[in-house]
Amino acid sequence: MQIAPLFMRIYIPYFFIFFFLLLLFPPFFFHVPGKGLDPSYNIAICLALKHKLVFGKDFVFTFGPLGILSSRLPISVSMWVYILSDLYFLGTLFIILRAVFKNNFSYLPVLYIFLCITVALYDAPFQRYFLFFLFYLFATIKEPAKALNVIQAALLSILCFYYKVNLGITAMILFLMVISYALIGKKLGRMHYLVILSSYIAGILLTAWLLHVDLKGYIAGSWQLIDAYNDAMYLPAGPEYLIFVKAAVLILTVVAGRALYLLAASIRRKEVLKNADELFIHGLICLAMFVFFKSGFVRVDGSHIFIFFKISSLLAGFLYLYNPSGFRRKMAAFCCWGVLGIAILAANTIPDNGQPYLPILRGSFLSVKMKEIGNYCREIKNYPAADGGKVESGPSVDVIPSEISKVYFNGWKYDPRPVIQSYSAYNSYLDSLNYQKYISPGAPDYVLFSLSSIDDRLPFFDESKTKLALFSHYSVVGAMGEDLLLRKRPVVENLIPVRVNERMEARIGEDFNLGTRDEQVKSIDGKEDKAGGKHYDLQYSKIFVRYNFRGWVRRLLYQPPSLHMTITLESGEQMTYRAIPTLLEDGMIINKYIDLPQEFQLLMQSGGRWCANIRKVRFEQEPGSNGFDPIVRMENTYYALPDRPEAERKADSLGVAEIIGGKKYKPALTDISHFEPDSFRSWVENITTYSPLIRIQGWAFRERGDNENNVAGVVLRSGDQLYALSSENQKRPDLISYFKRKDVYAAGYTALVSRSQLPAGVYQIGITLSDTVSRKNWIYFTDRQVQIP
């Protein structure tokens, strides 16, 4: 009669252990390299390992060398690296689950773990490693003399350190805190502590050598990335996300509230020392919860905030696991289920994030998982041929701002600047690393250059110091698709400072007056003008906007207050962009407005004479935020561009002529009879007329029929003349979610035309759609106009 209960007690836990191992089995073995922002940096990490670049010196990014375990690309990485990492993950998970069920097995904990896993079914491996680390870290507090606990905690912290910078530094700090706590609490002897500490340091040094990491630069660069990320990458919560901010704060309040209650009760009963382990563990859980809150809610969008809700219930589970029996354990269980309930509701209602529980409710999750395991096994077999045999040859190449995939797919030799993508050169320290690379003898032979950024930044203001190096050390030699091709100059002449450290001040909301074009542009001849300091080409300004105490607290606990920059051109046109204090302090070329690669080419090849000049700059904070000191300080350095050799000046003049008067941006007379009138959906989002090139951007699609093969374009009508403009198709994934139509993915357009090649007059803007298969063409005239004086 006792055999059945004994069987249940011994073997049923193993059934659930293997069930959870099945659920968390890696869903794929490798990814196919792709295009875009994230795929590009994943490719870059693999190429950095392939070329034995030194992380922290040649390569500074939010992911370390073990970032390959997240990207899982078949680029110069042995398949055994992925296999062994998966075996380590599954083996560690097995040991942890067995330890958990040994003393805590019942069906409620099993249900809790199952629900937590279903929320976090596809979380990133570095998050799972961090959770494993916390398990062994807390086990070390309870049993510091047990070798497995200390070894696993140390190993997992090192893995996190070389995997994802922010969590890795947190893990290493926590490990040192715990072993120091064990020493102070006399759970470890001094000799035992020194053995652990020296072994840990030796392990860090050994792995740094194996993984080609310069520890000093890696830690310094990582800290700069972590600190400036808060300023540069925050994304305010839209109205649809405010409820999730409140839900996250509620979770933090539940966890922190219990910690405060436990502390107060321990003080009242004079049991602080008795409950020290529990208090310490609870404090570490609160700290970890806050770290993930910051990771998820600095950028409030569906993919980032999901990080917090995926992991918060698993973090809360440690409250139950490391609590004594009795009332406090029941209270911990109540907190865990409360956090899980909030996480479930949030995870299933976050916009554009799917509903993780639908496969559970439908009962299809097991069949999906079995297919994933089958695909995983097939991908192991296909892995050796997956790289595609890319052979790197020819001169070295870097890419500005971010599309590194172009280097890989073309088989070029990748030679990156340290901070590999422009948007993540968040401050002066990081930008200076790239600047030093580009002025060094080891600079890449070629740079593919274009202009794009994120979060309503002006792209020209990213990596401003690095762009100064481009002006002195590179020249435009052509174009490759949408990118300019810059070549390293054989003879370098550094930029010449005309005046330095000129200071200006204004209050937030007031304009800095930069002067008119005549005041800014130097005469074409005349070295005396340079020496006399009367004329200059570029104004490089470092701008200091400081947080006040209120802004500093907001930055620490959630997000920094918002700052905007409004620029006024000489034409009177005004544009407003997001301003980032760390990038402002780095400096920017503030007197030229550059928003297109072609404008950047004109700046390089004409000395700025064909570019739009910025006359005024104003900084403003959002009404009611009051997060900044009222005084803004600007420190200016003025540069004259170096004289070019005769051959280069001729080539530059031809490049300028091609943009202003060449065929590429020449309007083409066309016949309206080629088009069928239609009233399709369209929107002209942006018209810019400040430079020699007029740009018109927007989107268009037909509501009736399929738009999969449709291409949008722009025409200008004046009287009975109709001009077709040079137009490029643009990908617009935002239209898919807004209109709930997959066929509008490529409905965007950008049209450019040389202002000098249009006759004077007023032009009505028309939008065309052409079906590339049926050859049908439609036209719709908007109420927007362009005037050519």
Give the pLDDT confidence of 496-507 residue by residue, as tens digits: 788 787 899 999
- Distance (Å, rounded) from C-alpha 110 to C-alpha 119? 15
Question: In the prediction, which pLDDT does 524 show?
Answer: 34
- Distance (Å, rounded) from C-alpha 123 to C-alpha 110? 20
- Distance (Å, rounded) from C-alpha 266 to C-alpha 606? 73
Q: Which residue from 252, 282, 247, 248 is spatially nearest to 264, judged by alpha carbons?
A: 282
- Distance (Å, rounded) from C-alpha 78 to C-alpha 380? 11
Alpha helices for 185-275 (secondary structure H): 190-210, 215-232, 242-268
Give the pLDDT confidence of 585-613 residue by residue, as tens digits: 999 999 999 998 989 999 988 877 788 88
Question: In the prediction, which pLDDT does 619 show?
Answer: 95
Q: Which residue from 257, 233, 237, 252 is spatially nearest to 305, judged by alpha carbons?
A: 237
Amino acid letter at 528?
E
**Looking up tokens 């439609």, which residue turns up?**
778
Contacts for 682 with CB less than 8 Å, ≥ 6 apart? 698, 699, 700, 701, 712, 767, 780, 782
536-556 burial string, b = 16+ CB within 10 Å, else e?
bbbbbbbbebebeeebeebbe
Mean pLDDT of 622-629: 87
Exposed/middle/buried for 353, CB within 10 Å: 0-12, 13-18, 19+?
Answer: middle
Question: In the prediction, which pLDDT does 769 show?
Answer: 92
Question: In the prediction, which pLDDT does 4 show?
Answer: 47
Q: Which residue from 192, 146, 195, 200 is spatially nearest to 174, judged by alpha carbons?
A: 200
Question: In the prediction, which pLDDT does 582 show?
Answer: 95
**Looking up tokens 């051959």, which residue turns up?**
647
Poorest-confidence range of 254-263, 468-477, 488-497, 778-787? 488-497
Given a cut of 60, whether residue 331 has pLDDT beyond it is yes
Omega before residue 144 within 30° of 0, cis: no
Q: Which residue from 53, 51, 43, 52 is spatially nearest to 75, judged by alpha carbons?
A: 43
Long-range contacts of 732-738 (CB under 8 A, 24+ apart): 732/699, 735/699, 735/701, 737/352
Residue 510, CA distances (Å) to 507, 522, 557, 564, 618 in order: 5, 27, 29, 12, 6
| CA atoms in the 13 A half-sphere facing the CB of 738 | 8
Give the pLDDT confidence of 541-576 residue by residue, as tens digits: 999 999 999 999 999 999 999 999 999 998 888 999
pLDDT tier for residue 359 given thresholds of 50, 70 and 90:
low
Given a cut of 70, whether residue 287 has pLDDT beyond it is yes
The backbone torsions φ and ψ at residue 375, rounded to the nearest 5 degrees and listed phi first, read -65, -40
Question: In the prediction, which pLDDT does 523 show?
Answer: 37
Question: In the prediction, which pLDDT does 691 show?
Answer: 84
Domains (ranges, CATH) in the chain? Answer: 125-231 (no CATH), 233-356 (no CATH), 421-656 (no CATH), 668-788 (2.60.40)
- Distance (Å, rounded) from C-alpha 541 to C-alpha 503? 9
Per the model's pLDDT, the better-predicted residue between 362 and 301 turns out to be 301
Given a cut of 90, whether residue 356 has pLDDT beyond it is no
Give the pLDDT confidence of 400-426 residue by residue, as tens digits: 999 999 999 888 999 999 999 999 999
Q: Which residue from 329, 302, 564, 327 is spatially nearest to 458, judged by alpha carbons?
A: 564
pLDDT tier for residue 526 given thresholds of 50, 70 and 90:
very low
pLDDT tier for residue 527 given thresholds of 50, 70 and 90:
very low
**Looking up tokens 């004329």, which residue turns up?**
535
The β-bridge partners of 786 are: 763
Q: Two tokens at 323? A: 């609590």
At 329, is the secondary structure helix, strand, or coil?
Answer: helix
Question: In the prediction, which pLDDT does 532 show?
Answer: 44
Length of the chain: 789
Amino acid letter at 126?
F
Amino acid letter at 590?
I
Under DSSP, the state recorded for 78 is -
Mean pLDDT of the chain: 88
Alpha helices for 269-301 (secondary structure H): 276-297
Give the pLDDT confidence of 267-281 residue by residue, as tens digits: 998 888 888 888 999
Alpha helices for 51-78 (secondary structure H): 68-71
The β-bridge partners of 284 are: none
Poorest-confidence range of 190-199, 376-385, 511-520? 511-520
Q: In the chain, pLDDT over 70 holds for what percent of residues?
A: 94
Mean pLDDT of 331-360: 82
- Distance (Å, rounded) from C-alpha 456 to C-alpha 470? 24
- Distance (Å, rounded) from C-alpha 315 to C-alpha 438? 44
Mean pLDDT of 331-336: 88
Mean pLDDT of 117-126: 82
- Taking each helix axis from N to C terminus, what angle separates 107-119 and 79-104, rounded to the nearest 10 degrees? 150
Mean pLDDT of 272-293: 91
Amino acid letter at 327?
F
Give the pLDDT confidence of 689-728 residue by residue, as tens digits: 888 889 999 999 998 888 888 999 999 999 889 999 988 8
Pairing of strands 777-788, 761-771: antiparallel
pTM of the model: 0.89
Residue 142, CA distances (Å) to 138, 275, 292, 583, 694 in order: 7, 12, 24, 46, 69
Q: What is the dihedral of CA 371, 373, 378, 383, to 10 degrees?
A: 130
At 488, is the secondary structure helix, strand, or coil?
Answer: strand
DSSP secondary structure string, 137-204?
A: HHHHHH-TT-HHHHHHHHHHHHHHHTTBHHHHHHHHHHHHHHHHHHHHTTSS-HHHHHHHHHHHHHHH
Given a cut of 60, whether residue 124 has pLDDT beyond it is yes
pLDDT tier for residue 251 given thresholds of 50, 70 and 90:
very high
Under DSSP, the state recorded for 53 is P
Given a cut of 70, whether residue 529 has pLDDT beyond it is no
pLDDT tier for residue 232 given thresholds of 50, 70 and 90:
very high
Q: Which residue from 166, 70, 276 is spatially nearest to 174, judged by alpha carbons?
A: 166
Q: How many CB atoms sit inside 10 A of residue 410's CB? A: 13
Question: In the prediction, which pLDDT does 586 show?
Answer: 94
Given a cut of 60, whether residue 522 has pLDDT beyond it is no
Q: Two tokens at 304? A: 């980032």
Long-range contacts of 672-675 (CB under 8 A, 24+ apart): 672/717, 672/722, 672/779, 674/777, 675/768, 675/777, 675/778, 675/779
Give the pLDDT confidence of 743-772 residue by residue, as tens digits: 888 899 999 999 889 999 999 999 999 988
Amino acid letter at 545?
V
**Looking up tokens 């016949």, which residue turns up?**
671
Question: In the prediction, which pLDDT does 2 show?
Answer: 45
At 484, is the secondary structure helix, strand, or coil?
Answer: strand
Mean pLDDT of 124-147: 90
Mean pLDDT of 643-665: 83
pLDDT tier for residue 528 given thresholds of 50, 70 and 90:
very low
Helix (H) or strand (E) holding 129: helix 125-142
